[in-house]
Amino acid sequence: MQERKPKPIELDLRRRETEAGWQRVIDTFALEATPKWFEWLGWVLVLAAFQYLAGQSGSRLVRPIPVLSAGLLWLYFNAFFFRMRFKGWPLVRSTRVERVMSIAISGVLSTACWFTARSVASVVAAHTK
Q: What is the pLDDT of residues 30-44, one digit of tens each?
A: 999 999 999 999 999
Q: What is the pLDDT of residues 57-107, one digit of tens each?
A: 989 999 999 999 999 999 999 999 999 999 888 888 898 999 999 999 999
Question: What domain range includes position 45?
Answer: 18-126
Residue 61, domain member (yes or no): yes
Residue 9, domain member (yes or no): no
Q: What does pTM read for this prediction?
A: 0.83
Q: Residue 114's Cα: distance from chain center in Å?
A: 7
For residue 4, is pLDDT > 80?
Answer: no
Residue 57, domain member (yes or no): yes
* Among 17, 121, 108, 1, CA closest to 69: 121
For residue 2, is pLDDT > 70?
Answer: no
Residue 107's pLDDT is what?
Answer: 96
